[in-house]
Chains A and B, each alone.
Chain A
Amino acid sequence: QKEVEQDPGPLSVPEGAIVSLNCTYSNSAFQYFMWYRQYSRKGPELLMYTYSSGNKEDGRFTAQVDKSSKYISLFIRDSQPSDSATYLCAMLRGTSYGKLTFGQGTILTVHP
């Protein structure tokens, strides 16, 4: 069993829809949670970074962490075709010296 599970999709939504992306994890030592966006043939770029449980909002993006359920989510409001990409969740333990553990990534397509 992988430490971080993420449904690879693909997920296809119409423009303007609310998108929900999720990851579950098994290691309770994870304390830092990230979402990266990866366009085709590009490197991952950091979208959201949260510590412990709670919500964080940045423009159309909201990240949620529920440590009790070992579940994290990324919501995209008013989705745009430019949001079409692979979304990767990633996690860090407190003393992991930057060793990110990634989910498999969810492929998202937003069609006009």
Chain B
Amino acid sequence: DTAVSQTPKYLVTQMGNDKSIKCEQNLGHDTMYWYKQDSKKFLKIMFSYNNKELIINETVPNRFSPKSPDKAHLNLHINSLELGDSAVYFCASSPGLGEAQPQHFGDGTRLSIL
């Protein structure tokens, strides 16, 4: 039973399109995150939500808009996709915001922009 699941696993689309990635966790966690991993494997946080409230909003183009309909779900919508958006996007969750709260990652969504 997958703890943090993302859909789709692969996404290939044209430049300029709008797409969404969905994430669900069944761990009962309060906090969820979106990370971007570039081609050099460098993983960087984009957003985090705690109990549906936006906590972290890194320097990310406003074409990226997260949405948390409930504690178990965090979606990422991307408008006007650009070549530089090609990356692997990881969702993660943790029990809460405290420092001792380990983060559990999904297996990623591989986004390729043509």
| Chain A residues engaging chain B, CB cutoff 8 angstroms | 8, 31-32, 34, 36, 38, 41-46, 49, 51, 86, 88, 92, 94, 96-100, 102, 104-105, 107
Q: How far is the CB of B25 from chain A (nearest CB, A)?
A: 12
Contact of B105 among A8, A45, A49, A92 (CB under 8 A): A45
Q: Considering only CB atoms, which chain B residue lies closest to A45 in the complex? A: B105
A-B contact count (CB 8 A): 68
Task: Count how many chain B residues have C-beta atoms less than 8 Å from C-beta atoms of the other chain.
Answer: 27
For A31, the chain B residues whose CB sits under 8 A away are 99
B41 close to A8 (CB less than 8 A): yes
Distance, CA A92 to CA B48, complexed state (A): 14
Distance, CA A65 to CA B42, complexed state (A): 22
For B40, the chain A residues whose CB sits under 8 A away are 8, 104
